[in-house]
Amino acid sequence: MPPIGAGSMYKTAMLGCGGRARGHADAYRFVKHGRLAAICDMDEKRLNTFGDEFGISSRYTDLDAMLEKEKPDVLHIVTSPVVPSSNERLRYPLMKQASDHGVPAAIIEKPVAIEGEDWKQIAGLAKETKTKFVVNTQLNFHPKNLELKKDVAEGRIGEIRFIDASARSRAAEQGGHVLQLVSSYIDDAHPVRVLGQIAGSEHLNSAGGHPGPTHAAAQVLYENGVHVSIAFGTEFGQMASDDPGTYGHKRVFIVGTKGFVHWRFSSWERATP
């Protein structure tokens, strides 16, 4: 997607008008070069409620129709990873539609894939599409996380030796955030070996949610030699605060040869020379 000049605007569109989409739409109060011009949802009541709330008149119940007529520069895909009524995987078909219509860029919610089959489909699409896809992992921009990453990048903890990261929610729910945080501290290095285990099948076919095992843990070796321990779920994930819930316990602990940094969702610590 080519850059725009001063005073110009990217035209954007939204697929999905549920609760998460409200955060996306509300963020446009702070966007200087983008305008949310059209929305799409199969539920007409939800579509119209959302459109009235955010003052958007171009409303569609069919994605192809919206993309064909509006031709947005950016598409927000803000849907569940599965069809609520059937558990049918949604990510790849919707990303393929965006690609087929030549949408320059698309923002999608995590998790990108639920299982190996849809991951392979998306990986194949990535090799042929011209659409640039970005995953919404906003914790990367948490102010204190950015500060701690600067410490690591500037060598204040020395050479990274080990990373421990976890969340008490399930891998399909918050795992994408945690894994992205890990990758961001090691320059997006690729994993080369994984030894993992899972437990709990009650959410494997949770229609309308994020299908996946209840608990998961793994030891991962990355191509740069860094060893990473990851854990998800209430049986494996650490308590990161006194919060009795599950969603506030995301954390990443980076150990170096000279010190460490430890980011938690609600606190932080570091030790540097």
| Strand order from edge to edge, sheet including 34-40 | 58-60, 34-40, 10-15, 74-77, 105-108, 132-135
Residue 252 is inside which H or E element, if any? Answer: strand 251-256
Q: In the chain, where are the structural domains located?
A: 10-135, 139-271
Superfamily of 139-271 according to CATH: Dihydrodipicolinate Reductase; domain 2 (3.30.360.10)
Q: What superfamily in CATH does domain 10-135 come from?
A: NAD(P)-binding Rossmann-like Domain (3.40.50.720)
* The domains spanning 10-135 and 139-271 adopt the same CATH topology: no
Residue type (1 letter), 117: E
Q: Distance between CA atoms of 236 and 238, rounded to whole angstroms?
A: 7
Q: How many CB atoms lie within 10 A of CB 33?
A: 12
Of the candidates 222, 113, 73, 74, the residue with the CA atom closest to the CA atom of residue 162: 222
Q: What is the pLDDT along the chain (273 residues), one digit of tens a residue?
A: 556 555 689 999 999 999 999 999 999 999 999 999 999 999 999 999 999 999 999 999 999 999 999 999 999 999 988 887 777 889 999 999 999 999 999 999 999 988 889 999 999 999 999 999 999 888 999 999 999 999 999 999 999 999 999 999 999 888 999 999 999 999 999 999 999 999 998 888 765 578 889 999 999 999 999 999 999 998 888 888 888 888 889 999 999 999 999 999 999 999 998
